């Protein structure tokens, strides 16, 4: 692993991964290809360790000639593919961009590396890897007592987002099977931590609570997610790229499955502790139940057995300590928060999504 193309490295998980990867792999050069959509932010990449080993290229993963050029120009031997449209609610209101980026974009990247690695034989296939970042949402929703998702759980995606990710997983696997491309896939549960765009539950609730706005709970709030601190996810991806077997899939989860209402109440109690003089104390009083997400998956849970047994990975963080760290990060990074909160298109997204729900 020498020259690594990271796609979507200006987003939430991608930027955390760029930082983590530079610190743990002293020999690599990173190229970050990101279209800087509403979710991409170069402020997420300030203060990188060893920035001389990092280059940024603005562009779209669906742009075939750009992708081909970058892979050849930087002699890429490893791709870590994060770039995607990632928000379920947006996929319900406008699925088209999800089909384009998540499916066509992934296909475009695969075609480019196949040409360079397989057809042109730029490197021995033992020394290359296409790693695809995916989600547990491809497995659909679990019944209350069903066992957690394992790597052999059948795919049953329910939202346009989940279906587009499932589709991209299948295409990646097919390139491995048919063309012998050394691929790997990780299917991960809900991440939280620094730099998460405040359209997702945890940062949305923190920022709304700070300004005394309603904390919107979809439906009864008893839906269950498996929460993982983003740095734990980064470590798992690194282990899979380094030691995972080509062609394999690894599930990654946090072994922590609170309901949404429990998570929101926990955030409120952390804020009460940190800001006892806030005019919005107790923050719990801001909670409002609003119209549910159409087709809302009820429960996710991940079985970590394979990655833990084969690669020795386990989450290091507990929800209580990592959620405190996360809330503190949003409290400390007011410039980052204000820049996003004042974006016109973020405000119009919030209005459109929540007014309709009665929030």
| Binding residues vs ligand NAD (CB under 6 A) | 7-8, 10-14, 34-37, 39-40, 60-62, 82-86, 101, 105, 133, 135, 165, 188, 190-191, 197
Task: Pick out residues in 135-154 that bind ligand DAU (CB under 6 A).
Answer: 135-137
Residue 253's binding partner among ligand DAU, ligand NAD, none (Cβ under 5 to 8 angstroms by kind) is none
- List the catalytic residue out of 20, 54, 161, 250: 161
User: Judged by CB under 6 A, does residue 216 bind ligand DAU?
Assistant: yes
Given the rule CB under 6 A, which of 45-53, 86-94, 109-117, 174-182 is the region that contacts ligand DAU?
86-94
Residue 79 phi, psi dihedral angles, 5° rounding: -115, 130
- Contact between residue 238 and residue 13 where contact means Cβ atoms under 8 Å apart: no
Residue of minimal CB distance from ligand NAD? Answer: 11
- List the catalytic residue out of 137, 255, 297, 317: 137
User: Judged by CB under 6 A, does residue 300 bind ligand DAU?
Assistant: yes
Q: Does 335 qualify as catalytic in the annotation? A: no
Which of 112, 201, 267, 340 touches ligand DAU by CB under 6 A?
201
User: Judged by CB under 6 A, does residue 86 bind ligand DAU?
Assistant: yes
Residue 236's binding partner among ligand NAD, ligand DAU, none (Cβ under 5 to 8 angstroms by kind) is none
**Which residue's CB is nearer to ligand DAU, number 77 or number 297?**
297
User: Judged by CB under 6 A, does residue 225 bind ligand DAU?
Assistant: yes
Residue of minimal CB distance from ligand DAU? Answer: 135
Q: What is the 3-state secondary structure (H, E, C) of the chain?
A: CCEEEEECCCCHHHHHHHHHHHHHCCCCEEEEEECCCCCCCHHHHCCCCCHHHEEEEECCCCCHHHHHHHHHHCCCCEEEECCCCCCHHHHHHCCHHHHHHHHHHHHHHHHHHHHHHHHCCCCCHHHCEEEEEEEHHHHCCCCCCCCCECCCCCCCCCCHHHHHHHHHHHHHHHHHHHHCCCEEEEEECEEECCCCCCCCHHHHHHHHHHCCCCEEEECCCCCECCEEEHHHHHHHHHHHHHHCCCCCEEEECCCCCCEHHHHHHHHHHHHHHHCCCCCCCCHHHHEEEECCCCCCCCECCECCHHHHHHHCCCCCCCHHHHHHHHHHHHHHCHHHHHHHHCCHHHHHHHHHHHHHCCC
Q: How far is the CB of 55 from ligand NAD (least distance, A)?
A: 15
Residue 47 phi, psi dihedral angles, 5° rounding: 60, 40
Which of 223, 256, 304, 326 touches ligand DAU by CB under 6 A?
223
User: Judged by CB under 6 A, does residue 88 bind ligand DAU?
Assistant: yes
Q: How far is the CB of 258 from ligand NAD (least distance, A)?
A: 15
What number of chain residues touch ligand DAU (CB under 6 A)?
A: 19
Q: How far is the CB of 73 from ligand DAU (least distance, A)?
A: 30
Q: How far is the CB of 55 from ligand DAU (least distance, A)?
A: 26
Q: Does 137 qualify as catalytic in the annotation? A: yes
> Could you count the other beta carbons within 10 Å of the beta carbon of residue 284?
16
**Which residue's CB is nearer to ligand DAU, number 188 or number 241?**
188
Q: Does 161 qualify as catalytic in the annotation? A: yes
Active site residue ranges: 136-137, 161
């Amino acid at each position: 692993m020498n020259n690594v193309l990271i796609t979507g490295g200006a987003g939430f998980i991608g930027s955390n991964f760029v930082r983590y990867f530079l610190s743990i792999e002293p020999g690599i050069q990173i190229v970050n290809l990101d279209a800087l959509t509403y979710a991409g932010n170069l402020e997420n990449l300030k203060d990188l360790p060893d920035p001389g080993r990092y280059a940024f290229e603005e562009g779209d993963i669906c742009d075939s000639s750009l992708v081909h050029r970058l892979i050849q120009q930087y002699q890429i031997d490893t791709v870590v593919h994060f770039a995607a449209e990632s928000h379920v609610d947006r996929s319900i209101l406008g699925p088209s961009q999800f089909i384009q980026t998540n499916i066509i974009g992934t296909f475009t990247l695969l075609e480019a590396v196949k040409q360079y690695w397989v057809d042109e034989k730029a490197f021995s296939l033992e020394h290359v890897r296409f790693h695809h970042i995916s989600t547990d949402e491809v497995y659909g929703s679990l019944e209350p007592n069903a066992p957690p998702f394992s790597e052999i759980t059948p795919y049953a995606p329910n939202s346009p987002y989940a279906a587009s990710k499932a589709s991209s997983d299948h295409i990646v696997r097919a390139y491995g099977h048919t063309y012998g491309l050394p691929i790997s896939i990780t299917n991960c549960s809900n991440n939280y931590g620094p730099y998460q765009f405040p359209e997702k539950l945890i940062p949305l609730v923190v920022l709304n609570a700070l300004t005394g706005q309603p904390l919107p709970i979809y439906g009864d709030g008893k839906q269950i997610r498996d929460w993982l601190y983003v740095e734990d996810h980064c470590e798992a991806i690194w282990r899979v790229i380094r030691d995972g077997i080509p062609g394999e899939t690894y599930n990654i989860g946090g072994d922590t499955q609170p309901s949404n209402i429990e998570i929101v109440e926990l955030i409120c109690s952390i804020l009460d502790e940190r800001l006892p003089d806030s005019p919005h104390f107790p923050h719990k009083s801001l909670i409002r139940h609003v119209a549910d997400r159409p087709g809302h998956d009820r429960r996710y849970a991940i079985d970590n057995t394979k990655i833990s047994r084969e690669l020795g990975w386990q989450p290091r963080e507990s929800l209580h300590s990592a959620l405190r760290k996360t809330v503190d990060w949003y409290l400390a990074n007011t410039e980052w928060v204000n820049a996003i909160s004042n974006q016109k298109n973020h405000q119009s997204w919030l209005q459109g999504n929540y007014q309709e729900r009665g929030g």
